Amino acid sequence: MPGVRPYSAGVIFFVRHGQSTTNAQGLLVGRSNPELTDHGRAQARALRPWLGGVVEVWTSPLRRAVETATLAVPTIEPVVVDDVIEVDYGVLDGTPLRDVSEAQWRAFEADHLLAMGGGESLHDVDQRVHGLLERVASDAASLLHDPERHLVIVSHVSPIKSAATWAMGVPGSTAWRMRIDNGSLTALSSRRGTPTLIHANLVPALA
In a domain, 1, yes or no: no
Bridge partners, 185 (sequence order): 15, 202
Q: What pLDDT sits at residue 6?
A: 55
pLDDT per residue as tens digits for the range 77-96: 999 999 999 999 999 999 99
Strand runs (DSSP E) across the chain, as ranges? 12-16, 54-59, 79-80, 150-155, 185-191, 194-202
The number of folded domains in the chain is: 1
Backbone φ/ψ region at 169: left (φ over 0), alpha (ψ -120 to 50), beta: left
Of 75, 53, 62, 73, nearest in space to 158 by CA: 62
In a domain, 207, yes or no: no
In a domain, 105, yes or no: yes
In a domain, 20, yes or no: yes
In a domain, 5, yes or no: no
Residue 153's SS3 state is strand
The H or E element containing residue 168 is helix 157-168
Backbone φ/ψ region at 193: left (φ over 0), alpha (ψ -120 to 50), beta: left
Q: What pLDDT sits at residue 145?
A: 84
In a domain, 62, yes or no: yes
* Sites in the chain below the pLDDT cut of 50: 1-2
Q: What pLDDT sits at residue 2?
A: 46
Residue 58's CATH number: 3.40.50.1240
Of 38, 53, 7, nearest in space to 199 by CA: 7
pLDDT per residue as tens digits for the range 152-187: 999 999 999 999 999 999 999 999 999 999 999 999
Domain, as residue range, for 60: 12-202
Average pLDDT of the residues of the chain: 94
In a domain, 7, yes or no: no
Q: What pLDDT sits at residue 8?
A: 61
**Alpha carbon distance 14, 191 (integer Å):** 18
In a domain, 2, yes or no: no
